[in-house]
Amino acid sequence: MAVGTHCPVDEMVEIAEVRNRLRLLQPWLEAGVATGATDPATHNALGKIYVVANKDAKQVSERSERALMKTSVLALKPILN
């Protein structure tokens, strides 16, 4: 059975962080982003993983900007229609 969107990301991240196992969630979090997840918890967790893994800071910044733009569009959509 796939966990998918049935599991609250922020709660999973908090538990994994306490146990120093955040990196284990990376494939799940990246799959969420690939399917269009716009929640801040997903992108914040990926940012933490990338920073700890010494990933390119530019890549983390670009992902954050895209997530912010998607969230902004979703927030303004009801107002503009």
Question: 75, 11, 9: which is closest to 42 by C-alpha?
Answer: 9
Q: Please tell me the predicted confidence (pLDDT) of residue 28.
A: 92
Q: What angle do CA 14, 74, 4 make, to 5 degrees?
A: 40
Q: Where are the domains of the chain?
A: 4-80
Q: Please tell me the predicted confidence (pLDDT) of residue 1.
A: 41
pLDDT (tens digit, 0 to 9) for every residue of the chain, 81 residues total?
Answer: 455 567 889 899 999 989 989 899 999 998 988 888 888 888 889 888 887 777 665 666 677 777 777 777 667 677 766
**Angstrom distance (rounded) from CA 64 to CA 56:** 13
Q: Please tell me the predicted confidence (pLDDT) of residue 56.
A: 60
Residue 3 corresponds to which amino acid? V
